[in-house]
Structures are given as structure tokens and as C-alpha cells.
């Protein structure tokens, strides 16, 4: 099955390459995917196939056919995972930094889903589809910490509803750049796709509502150790909001400025605790995960740099 789009080039698209234009106007397409469509003749202008390096003019009408993606189901892999809690309905794990949550373009295996499939067998819920079995919520590849996955469809729907109405709550800890002036605060700013870079998110007028509460745990001169509590779950939310107020997460490869001297391999951000109502018992469940080694080592280093013995 094909999805069909008819795109009329605007004035601000004048002179833009066809592959770049498509990637910027169709969120489901990366630039490489747009190039494949163009190479396969699935993009036409006036009935003729468009070359990927063709320069567009205002008023050009591009007819675009996008084949429906048919990804293969994720496969089980014997990857060690740290299980914090598990029963017949759900499992809570402590994801290490560097692990992707589910398979996607560029990460077909080695993910948390592959590990869960091996650990749980065929008991994971199917609500999320073949590539995201059991996955109720996500955390970024280079963010460590707690994540709950569902084993039954009923548990999945219940946890998803709690995520929506905020009865499923998450608390993070992070080290950010600079000295935050206030002891606590709230960033209330909508988040959407960065119009200039599709790999990044940004605070945008047309974005989705997002609110992050933060509290200072300790100050280290050039860095601040904070706790963050989410009222929403937008992509990269903490990273975007902290960068927005001028205090990017240390080591963040996307949002930290080039002046970041933290020498970290990924952002210093940890999903420390999670709380939810158990789908079967109705009891409140609460779990915490200790700071990972890399986080503790960074706190010790910046403590020494700040003159602490």
C-alpha cells in the first residue's frame, strides 16, 4: 500500500534540493529515505521523475508515493538486563546508558526490546506492535535508569492511561552546565520538531505542551546537580527544556554548546525513580535505581574541581 502526497513548493523552497525539501516537509522521511524515493522514480513533477539533486522552483507540484514500511519483527537476544521488579503483568528494568529501547532505523538489534524478548519469552504485550512489544514509555539511548514494560495487553493499556493522566510519574537526576540561580523552578514551554534540524527537538510555538519541574540538589560552581520531575513526556523533554533556560545537560551531544568541557560520552541524565498503580492489585508501586558508575564518577570529578576534598 502506498501513501500519496501532493506538495506545492512555497517561496521559501526556491532553489532547495528535492531530497532536502522532501525530508523537511514529510516528517516520516529522513533525507536518505527521500533520496531512495527519488532514485526509485516515486517522486514526479509534471509526470516526470525528479532527480534527488534537482533544484525546485516556487509553484512546482511534487507527486510523492511513499511505500508502507514493513519492518521485521524484533528478535530475542541474550543480552543481560538489570531487573528491579517482575511479576506476571509487568517488569521494571534499569536500562544502562548506551542502550536503545526498541529497534528502529540504524538500530535493528541490541536493544532493550531484544533483551526483554529473550528474558520474558512471548509474554510481552502486543499493543506496541512487533518492534515495540511491552514498551509503554521510552528513555533516550544515552539516558540511564528505570523503565516499566507490560507483559499483558490489559496492563499495557492501564499503564498507558496512567502515563497520560500522570498517575505514572518519573523523577530524573541530572548534572547541567552552569550555576542555576534559583533553588527550584518550572519550565513550561511547548516542544516540537526543530524546523532547522530534524534530529533535534526545540521549544516551538506550535509544539506540544510540556512542563518540567526542577530542584537543585547541589551546586559545583560550573555545574549544578538537579532533580527533574516531568508532567509530560515529550521527546528529549528535559534536555530541551534545560538547554532552553541556558543550562544544558552536561555531555549532551545534541543540545550542549561546544563550550561544554565535561568530557562525557552522552548526557549525564538518569531516570532515578518511577511510581505507578499496579494494573492488577490497584496498589501504588514505587521503585528507585542508584546512580550509575559514570554519574557518580562525574560528581566526584566536578567536586574535586570545585575544591572539595
Q: Which of 60, 140, 142, 252 is catalytic?
A: 140
132 CA to centre of own chain: 14
What are residue 185's DSSP bridge partners?
214
Nearest to 42, CA basis, from 62, 69, 71:
62
Nearest to 269, CA basis, from 111, 96, 63:
96
Active site includes 140?
Answer: yes
Per-residue cell: 116 = 526483554
The single-letter DSSP state of residue 130 is T
Nearest to 141, CA basis, from 98, 110, 174, 80:
98
> What HEC string does 162-230 produce?
HHHHCCCEEEEEEEEECCCCCCEEEEECCEEECCCCCCCEEECCCCECCEEEEEEEEECCCEEEEEEEE
What residues contact residue 222 under an 8 Å CB cut-off, 6+ apart? Answer: 177, 178, 179, 302, 305, 306
Q: Could you give the CA distance from residue 256 to residue 200 in angstroms, rounded to a whole number?
A: 12
Nearest to 232, CA basis, from 241, 224, 223:
241
Catalytic residue annotation: 140
Amino acid at each position: 500500500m502506498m501513501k500519496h502526497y501532493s506538495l506545492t513548493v512555497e517561496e521559501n523552497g526556491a532553489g532547495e534540493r528535492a531530497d532536502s525539501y522532501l525530508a523537511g516537509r514529510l516528517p516520516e522521511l529522513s533525507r536518505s529515505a527521500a533520496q531512495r524515493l527519488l532514485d526509485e522514480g516515486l517522486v514526479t513533477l509534471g509526470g516526470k521523475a525528479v532527480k534527488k539533486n534537482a533544484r525546485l522552483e516556487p509553484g512546482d507540484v511534487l507527486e510523492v508515493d511513499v511505500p508502507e514500511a514493513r519492518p521485521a519483527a524484533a528478535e530475542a537476544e541474550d543480552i543481560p538486563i538489570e531487573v528491579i521488579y517482575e511479576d506476571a503483568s509487568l517488569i521494571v528494568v534499569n536500562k544502562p546508558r548506551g542502550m536503545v529501547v526498541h529497534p528502529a532505523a540504524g538500530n535493528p538489534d541490541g536493544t532493550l526490546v531484544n533483551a526483554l524478548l529473550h528474558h520474558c519469552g512471548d509474554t510481552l504485550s502486543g499493543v506496541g506492535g512487533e518492534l515495540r512489544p511491552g514498551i509503554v514509555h521510552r528513555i533516550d539511548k544515552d539516558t540511564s535508569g528505570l523503565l516499566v514494560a507490560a507483559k499483558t495487553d490489559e496492563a499495557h493499556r492501564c499503564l498507558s492511561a496512567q502515563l497520560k493522566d500522570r498517575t505514572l510519574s518519573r523523577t530524573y537526576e541530572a548534572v547541567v552546565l552552569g550555576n542555576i540561580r534559583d533553588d527550584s523552578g518550572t519550565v513550561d514551554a511547548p516542544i516540537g520538531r526543530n524546523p532547522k534540524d530534524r534530529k533535534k527537538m526545540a521549544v516551538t510555538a506550535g509544539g506540544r505542551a510540556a512542563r518540567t519541574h526542577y530542584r537543585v540538589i547541589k551546586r559545583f560552581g560550573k555545574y549544578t546537580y538537579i532533580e527533574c520531575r516531568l508532567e509530560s513526556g515529550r521527546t528529549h523533554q528535559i534536555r530541551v527544556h534545560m538547554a532552553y533556560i541556558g543550562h544544558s545537560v552536561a555531555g549532551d551531544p545534541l543540545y550542549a554548546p561546544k563550550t561544554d568541557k565535561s568530557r562525557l560520552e552522552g548526557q549525564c541524565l538518569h531516570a532515578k525513580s518511577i511510581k505507578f498503580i499496579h494494573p492488577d492489585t490497584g496498589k501504588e508501586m514505587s521503585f528507585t535505581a542508584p546512580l550509575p558508575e559514570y554519574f557518580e564518577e562525574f560528581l566526584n570529578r566536578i567536586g574535586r574541581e570545585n575544591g572539595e576534598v
